[in-house]
Chain A
């Protein structure tokens, strides 16, 4: 990873800033909400104790398990308008969830009960694929229209006996309903009802005067598959008689409406959670603001603690409040909850307090309040925070990127300069940032130091051979002259043999020393020699002819497309260079191989390639090959000190050219590049 990317990553730490800000906002919001909750809880407690004084308004607590009782109770919704009796539910203006359901013989049965004015309304939707209508004859039987599909409303006002209102149709449309009680079975003119056929069943809507009904209400649906069979009964209650129905208490509702402050909603439930009073409205969400700051709200929603969905704060359409905090209050425990809208971010705080009378929980009082104040405060803070941190983050990231670019540019320059110095052997050149006081300056200085030491070392290596040969020459002269004198003494055969061997050794040593000082002599010659202009082509042709004589077990091939290749320099030295390359090529090829020499023009340069078949050069040696005392030859070939190619390089460079080695297919090619004086 580049330095720039690393610093970019580091700059991401600036994002901790908005995170911290959000934490702060969240804390603030939570503190505000808690305050509001506590305030609301006080209100709820006060209201609950007020409401407890109206103990008689609450439905009596039944000695049944709460849930099984509630499932048998019916909630009589307070309707906003008077429904038309036509078999349609939509003019009840209730949520479809307000429909409660029970199991029928052939599917489910949906039903709803409501009241408007002095009238009770019933809506039943029965799934029945085979609707059996009553016929005129069957209507007269004592318990109603036997052998026909029918709906019965059971009403009891304990300890009175039960009354049944039976709805059965001879045909779809308005139907006559019957009343069946202790006095008999007869049509009830006060009731109007409508039977509507729908695919897969039928619907019944009925209007019954409240006076006809008792407190406990139940529903029984009879289903028959033909006129000759008894109906299968489905009942909304399990006991002998239905449970009491629940409806809004008028006096409690009125009281609550008075107590509710603007923006506050108060609900009262009975001990089963049935809503018996509701008043007040939550203030409407400020939609204009939310659309304007939609993006910040969205971020806000992401960042702040989410509550329950705001919709669930609404009164339950079924009439029974089952929120956990309400259940807790019914169990005698005051509890708070809060809600948040999806879009606006508006929070609703709610508190449920138990309504107690003589230590007995009559029900629960629920107070809800919207928190626009919190929203606007946190929203504004959030917007400012986000803008600020965005700017700060961008600034920090920008600054870091700039800084990183500057740093990496310096480091890059340094590394390029160091590589250049290494490549061009200008090891004493000054590197960039050498005067800087920071770590890059230190790096540059230590780089310079390393390069300088490397340069010194290289220079030392280069001069080592000639120095060594120089120093060894005198002791060698002592040995040689001593041996030569010894040869003039009287020697026995053994001594003569030893002397001859010593002479051989000394001769070899002399040749080695002379090879070692060759480089310095070549340098000297190039420094002092006067360059001449000559045709390299002719020189090469002549030299290659000489090689054919010297190396009789190799083929030499000289190719050129040039008519003339004029070069300035010393032909003798170039031949010496060629000698080294030819010697090298012969050493690395096998008898019978062809060593190729090729002279080509490349722009203003001449390329001379000496190619021999043989083993490839080790890749890592390719550039070092031309250094002093570097050899790729195996250990057995000791007469090579690795100076030949170094001399070749000295000569090539002394002529303003260069030398390189590359592996070609099946062999090795040494290429010398020389500046041409003119070439065609």
Chain B
């Protein structure tokens, strides 16, 4: 059965374009232009994935509110923020509310589709028993490529999709420097220097929350980043 995606976006043109793209991929799409009609529709049935804009008409933080309420209703419903707001602060706020990814509107449709597909794949993988061959081990690091989960010293590290892909591309070939283009390709996104820096910082911080001495990601100044294995 086709997955159902809800789009909450006040800009009709974008909403329709995204809806058309999702339909083309074979998804069912529910499009809403504000929080209330979306919530009342969700009362009867939750979609399989939600794409939310933060700024909903006069409701400046409407997307955040919506995310909070949806997360309250379902812990594993994939939520993607897709917004024009590119500030670090907004990104952190959105992810803290439990969103699975925070995307700015300059993401291309194919990249968006790839992410949505990846999220659905992860959802499916979660419901199956863990496959043995889908795991990569690099010292203390364990990556489950099917479920898109990362463990450090057997503790789960809660990474977003983008962060997972970044860790994955670096850890696959430890010691190899990954430059910006390689990281961008892996993360299915257009990233500038500052965004990459922010992502790497956030990833480090998440690992350091488990292991204060974490230093497996090395910055190679002027070139990129690499994963160091012991």
The interface of chain A, by Cβ under 8 A from chain B, is 470, 473-474, 476-478, 480-482, 484-485, 488, 510, 513-514, 517-518, 520-522, 524-525, 528-529, 538-539, 542-547, 549, 570-573, 575-576, 578-579
Asked if B219 contacts A572 (CB within 8 A), the reply is: yes
Asked if A482 contacts B194 (CB within 8 A), the reply is: no
Contact A518-B192, Cβ < 8 Å, known A478-B14, A481-B17, A528-B88:
yes
C-alpha gap A546/B221 in the complex (Å): 8
Interface pairs (8), CB distance under 8 Å: A470-B84, A476-B106, A480-B108, A510-B106, A525-B197, A570-B197, A572-B197, A575-B221
B39 within 8 A of A: no
Of B18-26, B69-77, B115-123, B160-168, which stretch is located at the interface? Answer: B18-26
One digit per residue, 1 when the CB lies within 8 angstroms of any chain A CB and 0 when it does not, for chain B 71-107 equals 0000000000000111111000000000000001110
Task: Select one of B85, B89, B198, B220 contacting A542, CB under 8 A.
Answer: B220
Contact A473-B104, Cβ < 8 Å, known A542-B221, A546-B221, A575-B221:
yes
C-alpha gap A570/B219 in the complex (Å): 12
Asked if A525 contacts B14 (CB within 8 A), the reply is: no
Most buried by B among A517, A521, A543, A549: A521
Task: Select one of A485, A546, A576 contacting B21, CB under 8 A.
Answer: A485
Would you list the 9 A-B pairs with minimal beta carbon distance, nearest first?
A546-B222, A543-B222, A481-B17, A477-B105, A484-B109, A542-B221, A473-B84, A478-B13, A572-B197
Task: Select one of B14, B17, B24, B194 contacting A522, CB under 8 A.
Answer: B194
B110 within 8 A of A: yes
Contact A524-B89, Cβ < 8 Å, known A542-B222, A571-B221:
yes
Chain B nearest CB, measured from A542 CB (Å): 4
In the complex, the number of residue pairs spanning A and B with C-beta atoms less than 8 Å apart equals 102
B223 within 8 A of A: yes
Asked if A543 contacts B14 (CB within 8 A), the reply is: no
Task: Select one of B109, B192, B219 contacting A485, CB under 8 A.
Answer: B109
B185 within 8 A of A: no
Asked if B193 contacts A477 (CB within 8 A), the reply is: no
Asked if A572 contacts B17 (CB within 8 A), the reply is: no
B59 within 8 A of A: no
Asked if A485 contacts B106 (CB within 8 A), the reply is: no
Asked if A576 contacts B194 (CB within 8 A), the reply is: yes
C-alpha gap A476/B11 in the complex (Å): 12
Chain A nearest CB, measured from B137 CB (Å): 29
C-alpha gap A356/B43 in the complex (Å): 148
Asked if A485 contacts B88 (CB within 8 A), the reply is: no
Task: Select one of B11, B24, B89, B219 contacting A474, CB under 8 A.
Answer: B11
Interface size class on chain B is 20 to 34
A-side interface mostly: helix
Contacts of B220 in A (CB 8 A): 542
C-alpha gap A576/B201 in the complex (Å): 16
Contacts of A543 in B (CB 8 A): 221-222
Chain B nearest CB, measured from A491 CB (Å): 15
Most buried by A among B88, B190, B197: B197
Contacts of B84 in A (CB 8 A): 470, 473-474, 477
C-alpha gap A470/B105 in the complex (Å): 10
C-alpha gap A654/B60 in the complex (Å): 30
C-alpha gap A545/B87 in the complex (Å): 32
Task: Select one of A473, A484, A573 contacting B105, CB under 8 A.
Answer: A473
Asked if B222 contacts A485 (CB within 8 A), the reply is: no
Task: Select one of A474, A482, A525, A545 contacting B222, CB under 8 A.
Answer: A545
Contacts of A518 in B (CB 8 A): 192, 194
Contacts of B194 in A (CB 8 A): 518, 521-522, 525, 576
One digit per residue, 1 when the CB lies within 8 angstroms of any chain A CB and 0 when it does not, for chain B 180-204 equals 0000000000101111011001000
Asked if B21 contacts A514 (CB within 8 A), the reply is: no
Chain A nearest CB, measured from B73 CB (Å): 28
Residues 34-93 of B contacting A (Cβ, < 8 Å) = 84-89
C-alpha gap A476/B14 in the complex (Å): 10
Most buried by B among A514, A517, A576: A514
